[in-house]
């Protein structure tokens, strides 16, 4: 089923992002996480992609679909050429994968440049357009930023690229993680003013530790509300930081759900505990159905 159809039902969806295992040592971790979170009845999930281990993305997507009967979306990036991308898409079609998240892909690390494999695949919008004109029937998701991405000169530049993804044929958008809902609400307002009508799903991540937070902030440009930043700075250890992160994410979700968001998408980093705690709280408050 296409994810855009789920988002149009009028009930907020719950979804998780899993990271495809990089090696055999990570397989057991991913399997435990997917099993734990599959038990919380997500509407759909997504699986990250790396060129070097792309087959593991495809294996995990098909396993989730077959074992748990959950719609699983494969990420696809501009790390491949068009000729390398077509066989991947053909394989997805044969295996019944219904949705693709079309992304440019991350640079090797903070402050480093992304180098495309194909001059025709410079941006995520190029991959969206390729999927549309090639005749594939996938539902197509794309990414956007609630805040300014580190590589963008300003938010206007960021918004133009989001608009281009929509114009190229994206069915829905998922934001990069953010910790201040004001950025999301402002993005949705500007999108409506620009005539963008496709769903914009908020992407959320409970802060797991100071180290993880620093890395993700550098990669995505996400900023912390002053109160949260101060509380994390004063926290005695990472257990306290994690608890603060869960509590703040619950507060974010409550406000987002009350505002009528189309869904909640959680970046799990292959950790099940925090998303499970957040969902338990939201369902306990009857903000989400089980």
User: Over the stretch 114-137, which tens digit does the pLDDT of each residue have?
Assistant: 677 778 888 899 999 999 999 999
DSSP3 helix / strand / coil % (the chain, rounded to 5): 50, 15, 35
Asked if 202 and 261 count as a contact pair (C-beta separation under 8 A), the reply is yes
Distance, CA of 14 to CA of 3 (rounded, Å): 11
| Per-residue pLDDT, 122 | 84
Average pLDDT, the chain: 92
* Beta-strand pair 200-204/172-177: parallel
> DSSP class of residue 21?
P
17 catalytic residue (yes or no):
yes
% of the chain at pLDDT higher than 90 = 75
Q: Which of 5, 17, 147, 255 is catalytic?
A: 17
Res. 108: pLDDT tops 60: no
Distance, CA of 119 to CA of 4 (rounded, Å): 30
Instruction: Using pLDDT thresholds of 50, 70 and 90, give the confidence band for residue 290.
Output: low
- Structural domains of the chain ordered from first start: 3-284 (3.20.20.220)
User: Over the stretch 158-203, which tens digit does the pLDDT of each residue have?
Assistant: 899 999 999 999 999 999 999 999 999 999 999 999 999 999 999 9
At 214, is the secondary structure helix, strand, or coil? helix
Instruction: Using pLDDT thresholds of 50, 70 and 90, give the confidence band for residue 217.
Output: confident
Q: Which of 73-82, 203-212, 213-222, 254-263 has the lowest mean pLDDT?
A: 213-222
Distance, CA of 117 to CA of 126 (rounded, Å): 13
């Amino acid at each position: 089923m296409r994810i855009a159809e789920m988002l149009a039902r009028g009930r907020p969806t719950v979804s998780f992002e899993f990271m495809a295992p990089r090696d055999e040592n990570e397989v057991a971790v991913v399997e435990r996480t997917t099993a734990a979170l599959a038990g919380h009845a997500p509407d759909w999930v997504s699986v990250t992609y790396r060129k070097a281990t792309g087959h593991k993305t495809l294996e995990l997507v098909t396993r989730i679909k077959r074992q748990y009967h959950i719609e699983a979306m494969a990420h696809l990036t501009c790390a491949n050429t068009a000729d390398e991308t077509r066989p991947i898409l053909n394989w997805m079609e044969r295996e019944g994968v219904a949705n693709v998240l079309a992304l440019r892909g991350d640079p090797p690390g903070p402050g480093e440049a992304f180098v495309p494999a194909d001059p025709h695949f410079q941006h995520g919008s190029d991959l969206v357009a390729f999927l549309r004109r090639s005749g594939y029937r996938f539902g197509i998701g794309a990414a956007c930023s609630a805040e300014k991405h580190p590589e963008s000169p300003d938010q206007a530049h960021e918004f133009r690229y989001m608009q281009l993804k929509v114009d190229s044929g994206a069915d829905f958008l998922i934001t990069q993680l953010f910790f201040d809902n004001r950025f999301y609400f402002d993005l949705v307002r500007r999108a409506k003013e620009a005539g963008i009508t496709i769903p914009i799903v908020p992407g959320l991540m409970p802060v797991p530790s100071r180290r993880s937070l620093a890395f993700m902030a550098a990669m995505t440009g996400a900023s912390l509300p002053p109160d949260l930043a101060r509380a994390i700075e004063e926290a005695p250890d990472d257990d306290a930081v994690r608890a603060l992160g869960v509590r703040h994410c619950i507060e974010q979700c409550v406000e987002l759900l009350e505002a009528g968001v189309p869904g909640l998408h959680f970046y799990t980093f292959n950790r099940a505990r925090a998303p499970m705690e957040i969902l338990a709280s939201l369902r306990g408050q009857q903000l989400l159905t089980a």
